[in-house]
Amino acid sequence: MPEELNPFKEAQQQLDEAAEIMNLDREAHALLKEPRRTIMTNIPVKMRDGHTEVFQGFRVQYNDARGPAKGGIRFHPQETLDTVKALAAWMTWKCSLANIPFGGGKGGVICDTKKMNEAELEALSRAYIRSIAQFIGSEKDVPAPDVYTNPQIMAWMLDEYATIKGHNEFAMITGKPVDLWGSEGRVDSTALGGMFVMREAAKRMKINLKRATIAVQGFGNAGKYAYELSKELFGSNVVAISDSQGGVYDPEGLDLDKLEKAKKATGSVDSYEGKNSRKVSNDELLKLDVDILIPAAIENQVRGDNADKIEAKLLLELANGPVTPDATRILFERGVVDMPDFLVNSGGVIGSYFEWQQNVSGYYWDTERFHSELDRFITKSFRDTMDMQKDYASKGKKIPERMAAYVIAVDRVARAMKARGWY
């Protein structure tokens, strides 16, 4: 990965910019530049043909000053330690901005789940937990699903941890099936939180969501729910969507059933056929003339070389790290409102907090309460961010939305470290 596209370098650069804006103490800055703890592990798994495959795994606990580390586990063939470190850093700011009692963490295993059968996947999931069991737990580090992991994998991991410890500890992992005390409402919480941010931003920008056109990059869990919820909640018109192979654009709007049929038949939504539809690449989708652009796929999609071609008025970062630091500056100078990832997609970790809280207390909520509390938490985060941006503007210093959110999040973590006597 080129250094300029290294996600951890970008995360560090974003921290540096925030530190300069807020005059962060040098000691706090140094503590926050690197993870407090990085775990690397080799994981042997016996495969279906009898040979033993050794997989490389990671768990990064970036900062736990405000509570147990919290963050998902990714199973991906191109996983890297720097990606996991970056995501753990962003989780630190995400939890802090949402003002929930967690620090930031992340995990990953280099593997290709598409080439593994269910038995191999279960064996890997259990072996990964065995390799890090001493470092995790409901009061230490609480994992969750992420790329190519799901509630079933969380269930296997929960069971393996219970076997090791000799008792159940449901709060040690989130994103579980409801049958194992996962939370009602958790499944679509990442996208739903993003929709609440979109609603609040649209109000401020006077965008009529019923008439708004939306392009979504990504047809995974977050992207698909963003499509469904934007139409269900606001009646918005999703005119473009893509997956890793390519995308489709139709100015009249897209039909979800036809998208899913195209994906199932050919492996990509770009085979979608509509009266006025046409294929678009992922890069072309980003540059479409729409009201709202939702990157919901992978990092580094909006960069210095294409940010000046973004036509959307509002950019909603549902993916982790989809906009690079140089692109942030270009978008801000052009007047594009760019709502940062660790605000927009924080619905997932807020939902995980609700699940953890229910597991700890043994008192469980219904979906209505879950959604209501999620709305309250993320709307406050949005308003805090806008108020911080306004406060800086009143002092003659205009800063992007991302930096306003960073100032809030970094300040909270720094104050916790100071109170603990870490510096």
Active site residues: 106
Residue carrying structure tokens 């269930």: 155
Count of CB atoms situated within 10 Å of the CB of 29:
18
Helix, coil or strand: residue 192 = helix
- Joined together, the tokens standing for residue 363 give 């008192």
At residue 369, the 3 state secondary structure works out as helix
What Rg, from alpha-carbon coordinates, does the chain have?
Answer: 21
Q: Give bridge partners of residue 213 from the DSSP assignment.
A: 237
Alpha helices in 58-176 (DSSP H): 81-98, 118-132, 151-165
* Residue 413 CA: distances (Å) to CA of 67, 76, 136, 170, 347: 10, 30, 21, 27, 20
> Which of 372, 365, 373 is closest to 178 using CA atoms?
365
Asked whether the CA dihedral 244, 72, 351, 10 is positive or negative, the reply is: negative
Q: Which pairs with CB-CB distance under 8 Å and at least 24 residues apart come from 38-44?
A: 38/81, 38/85, 39/132, 39/135, 40/81, 41/128, 41/131, 41/132, 43/109, 43/124, 43/127, 43/128, 43/131, 44/127
Q: What are phi and psi of 12, to 5 degrees?
A: -65, -40
